[in-house]
Structure 1
Amino acid sequence: MTVADIDELRGRSDVLGIDALLSAEERATRDRVRAFVDEHIRPNIADWFASAHFPVEISREFGRLGVLGMHLKGYGCPGRSAVEYGLAALELEAGDSGLRTFVSVQGSLAMSSIHRWGSEEQKQQWLPGMAAGEIIGSFGLTEPTAGSDPSSMKTYARRDGDDWILTGAKRWIGLAPIAQLTVVWAQTDDGIRGFIVPTDSPGYEAITLEPKLSMRASIQAELHFDDIRLPASAMLPGAKGLRGPFSALNEARYGIIWGVLGAARDSYEAALRYSLERTQFDKPIAGFQLTQQKLVDMVLEIQKGALLALHTGRLKDAGTLDPVQISVGKLNNTREAIKIAREARTILGGNGVLIEHSPIRHAANLESVRTYEGTDEVHTLILGQHLTGIGAFR
Structure 2
Amino acid sequence: MSLRTKIVLALLLTSLASVTLVGVVAYQRVVTRFTDMHLAGARDSFRANVQAYVQTYGSWDAGAAAEPFAAFSQRRMGGGPGRPGRRPPQENGAGPGMGSPGAQLDGPAQSERRTAPPIQFLVFTPDGVALTRTPAYAIGDHVSTDDQAGAEPLRVDGRLIGYFHPEGQVNFSAPELRFVGVARDALLGACALAAILAVGAGLVIGRRLSRPLRRLTDAARAMQAGDLGQRVAVNGRDEIAILAQAFNHMAEALARDAARLREISIRDGLTQLHNRVHFDEQARMLYQRAVREGRPLSLMIGDIDHFKAINDRYSHAIGDAVLRQVADLLRAALRPGDLAARYGGEEFVMLLQDTGAAEAAALCERLRQAIAAADWQEIHPDLAVTISIGVSGDLGQDGPDGMIAAADARLYQAKADGRNRVCAA
Give the TM-score normalised by structure 2. 0.19
Higher RCO by CA contacts (8 Å cutoff, separation 6 or greater): 1
Give the TM-score normalised by structure 1. 0.20
Higher Cα radius of gyration: 2
Quick check: which one's strand share is greater?
A: 1
